[in-house]
């Protein structure tokens, strides 16, 4: 075997190794963002589990605000049911839409509860409530951070998929599409300028 054929085989070997590396990296990144997604589910579930406690504590102080509390509970049950359905059947586009709607109505109900609570200083000062509000804060943060973690890993996956040598192989290796970033369901509302009327 002369030198040129040795070189040829070496280069070929290197090339094959490189392609294998690309394949494996794509698989790793995909699994990573899928794992990140399941983290969001876990945190959402944690949040749904905490809300009944919040309502229970609040009830003792604000029996007159039945409506607000009921709204929170029904929104929570609704969202928990949708999440459960997703857990059982897997996430399709429709279910994700439902979850987004349920989540945003839950967010609104909780917001209303927070506003109402401002009128009850005893409630805010109670030790139970302080513990609970720390728990709720951390859960809200966890939901946000797990979403952020998901978006970060999706970005890493998409960037790698679109970059030069991998882009040649990605489709053949079963990665034809970019993964979708999570967006605010009400991004239109956020982007609209706040209305101020006199």
Residue count (the chain): 198
| 61 scored as a contact of other proteins (CB under 8 A) | no
CB of 178 to other proteins, least distance (A): 19
CB of 189 to other proteins, least distance (A): 20
| 68 scored as a contact of other proteins (CB under 8 A) | no
Cα 144 from Cα 43, distance rounded (Å): 9
| 134 scored as a contact of other proteins (CB under 8 A) | yes
**Neighbouring C-alpha atoms within 13 Å toward the C-beta of 127:** 0
Cα 108 from Cα 72, distance rounded (Å): 9
| 43 scored as a contact of other proteins (CB under 8 A) | yes
Cα 11 from Cα 1, distance rounded (Å): 15
Cα 56 from Cα 173, distance rounded (Å): 52
**Choices 3-11, 80-88, 116-124, 134-142 (CB under 8 A): range interacting with other proteins:** 134-142
**Which two structure tokens, joined as six digits, stand for 186?**
């009400």
Cα 126 from Cα 75, distance rounded (Å): 25
**Which two structure tokens, joined as six digits, stand for 119?**
């009128």
| 41 scored as a contact of other proteins (CB under 8 A) | no
Q: Which is nearer to other proteins, 53 or 105 (CB)?
A: 53
Q: Which of 26, 29, 36, 170 binds other proteins (CB under 8 A)?
A: 36
Cα 96 from Cα 30, distance rounded (Å): 19
| 141 scored as a contact of other proteins (CB under 8 A) | yes
Q: Residue 196 gets which letter from DSSP? A: -
Q: Which is nearer to other proteins, 95 or 152 (CB)?
A: 152
Q: Which is nearer to other proteins, 24 or 159 (CB)?
A: 159
Q: Which is nearer to other proteins, 25 or 32 (CB)?
A: 32
Q: Which is nearer to other proteins, 29 or 109 (CB)?
A: 29
List the Cα angle 89/174/172 in 5-degree steps: 160
Where does this chain bind other proteins (CB under 8 A)? 32, 36, 39, 43, 127, 130-131, 134-135, 137-138, 141-142, 145-146, 148-149, 152-153
């Amino acid at each position: 075997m002369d030198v040129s054929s040795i070189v040829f085989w070496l280069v070929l070997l290197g090339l094959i190794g490189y392609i294998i590396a690309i394949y494996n990296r794509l698989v790793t990144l995909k699994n990573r963002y899928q794992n990140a997604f399941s983290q969001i589910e876990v945190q959402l579930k944690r949040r749904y589990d905490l809300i009944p406690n919040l309502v229970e504590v609040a009830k003792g102080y604000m029996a007159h605000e039945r409506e607000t509390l009921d709204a929170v509970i029904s929104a929570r049950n609704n969202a928990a049911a949708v999440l459960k359905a997703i857990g059982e059947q897997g996430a399709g586009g429709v279910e994700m839409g439902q979850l987004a709607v349920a989540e945003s109505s839950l967010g609104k109900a909780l917001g209303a509860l927070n506003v109402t609570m401002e009128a009850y200083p005893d409630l805010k000062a109670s030790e139970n409530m302080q513990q609970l509000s720390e728990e709720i804060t951390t859960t809200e943060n966890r939901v946000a951070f797990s979403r952020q973690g998901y978006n970060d890993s999706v970005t890493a996956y998409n960037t790698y998929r679109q970059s030069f040598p991998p882009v040649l192989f990605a489709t053949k290796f079963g990665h034809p599409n970019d993964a979708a970033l999570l967006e605010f369901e009400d991004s239109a509302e956020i982007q609209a300028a706040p209305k101020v009327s006199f």
